[in-house]
Amino acid sequence: MSLLVIGGTGTLGRQIVLQALTKGYQVRCLVRNFRKAAFLKEWGVELVYGDLSRPETIPPCLKGITAVIDASTSRANELDSLKKVDWDGKLCLIDAAKTAKVKRFIFFSAQNAEQFNNIPLLKLKNGIEAKLQQSGIPYTIFRLTGFYQGLIEQYAIPILENLPIWVTNENTYISYMDTQDIAKFCLKALQITETENQTFFLSGSKAWVSSEIINLCEQLTDQKAKVQRVPLFILKFVSGFFGFFEWGQNISDRLAFAEILSTENNFSKSTFELYKTFKIDPSEIIQLDDYFLEYFIRLLKRLRDINFEDVQKQKNLVI
């Protein structure tokens, strides 16, 4: 089976690529910058040039492809790319996949997307879900929660750098996931026919509230966090303010994401069924405490290595 991955350089996409290669799939990645994607080539991926904001570049990438895995989304720092990438580009991708008669199209949406039609990214995700469902292409849609990887920037780094951690007043439990585990579900979907033409809410096996994550980081780093609480209504106001301007749409979307995540998961009850369908034992899933522990251990080792290298350099200078 030959796979076309879009977004292979991204946080989730690279995990999908890595696991797909390990399982022996032929992997092609649609990328817009070969230099940035050089690491994928080193792993054994075939790179093809494509840019979702340039629709004419998409169809040639699908030649000989059996399944499409779309893990792409517009980058927050590319201000006018939201509609071009997450709507126009994706519509063109679906059309091209239909013409190429692909056997499966995997798309990543977001949890509670249907409740947030006022947020442009979520509205587009919702629209693409519908277009894919109507396309006649066998599909699997995963509605995702937040990634562990995002928590490093939100909690771990501010604690280490003695910077404030911004949290809302809501005490919402969220079942974050490691992208390695999301990738596991994604690749299982290719092998399990019951996942065809289905939409799944993907969530981790344990839900966390922000104060628990802060406590965990404090214990692991032996440092006290500086917590700044911002009421959700202020976040909504700031997000609305930016969204008023066209240039601010992307910023507004990212801020609004905090609002989406602060809406209680409605899928924790079905988690058991989900793991059963995908034949994944919940004990295989990486837990947040283990993820953070490994992160801090690796970081400490790196700091020790840098320190060691500095001492060696100084010794060499003295000699």
Ligand X SMILES: NC(=O)c1ccc[n+]([C@@H]2O[C@H](COP(=O)([O-])OP(=O)(O)OC[C@H]3O[C@@H](n4cnc5c(N)ncnc54)[C@H](OP(=O)(O)O)[C@@H]3O)[C@@H](O)[C@H]2O)c1
The residues that touch ligand X, with contacts defined as CB under 6 A, are 6-13, 32-33, 36, 51-53, 71-75, 85, 108, 110, 144, 146-147, 150
For residue 210, the tally of other CB atoms under 10 A from its CB is 23
8 A C-beta contact, residue 87 and residue 47 = no
Closer residue to ligand X (CB): 167 or 319: 167
Distances (CA, A) of 33 to 4, 29, 68, 224, 241: 16, 11, 19, 41, 33
**159 vs 258 by CB, closer to ligand X:** 258
Q: Name every residue whose Cβ is closer than 8 Å to that of residue 289 and which is 6 or more positions away in sequence.
A: 216
**Least CB distance to ligand X at residue 63 (A):** 17
Rounded distance between C-alpha atoms, residue 87 and residue 92, angstroms:
9
CB 254, min distance to ligand X, A = 10
CB of 200 to ligand X, least distance (A): 13
Residue nearest to ligand X (CB): 10
> Where are the extended beta strands (E) located within 146-261?
164-168, 198-201, 226-230
Query: How near is the Cβ of 165 to ligand X at its closest, in Å?
Result: 17
Q: How far is the CB of 32 from ligand X (least distance, A)?
A: 5
Give ∠ CA 230-260-144 in degrees, rounded to 5: 135
Kindly state the smallest distance separating residue 14's Cβ from ligand X, in Å.
8
> What does residue 249 show for φ and ψ, rounded to 5 degrees?
-55, -45
- Between 45 and 144, name the residue whose CB sits nearer to ligand X: 144
Nearer to ligand X, 70 or 243 (CB): 70
Q: Which is nearer to ligand X, 91 or 218 (CB)?
A: 91
Q: Which helix (H) or strand (E) holds 293?
A: helix 288-318
Q: Are 163 and 225 in contact (CB under 8 A)?
A: no
H or E segment to which residue 39 belongs: helix 38-43
Nearer to ligand X, 53 or 197 (CB): 53
What's the min distance (Å) between Cβ of 145 and ligand X? 7
Instruction: Return the number of the residue (53 or 218) whose C-beta is nearest ligand X.
Output: 53
Minimum gap (Å) between residue 309 Cβ and ligand X: 30
Given a contact cutoff of 8 angstroms between Cβ atoms, the answer to whether 20 and 185 are in contact is no
| Whole-number Å distance between alpha carbons of 117 and 264 | 17
Q: Which is nearer to ligand X, 147 or 295 (CB)?
A: 147
* Distance separating alpha carbons of residues 76 and 155, to the nearest angstrom: 20
Element (H, E) at 29: strand 26-31
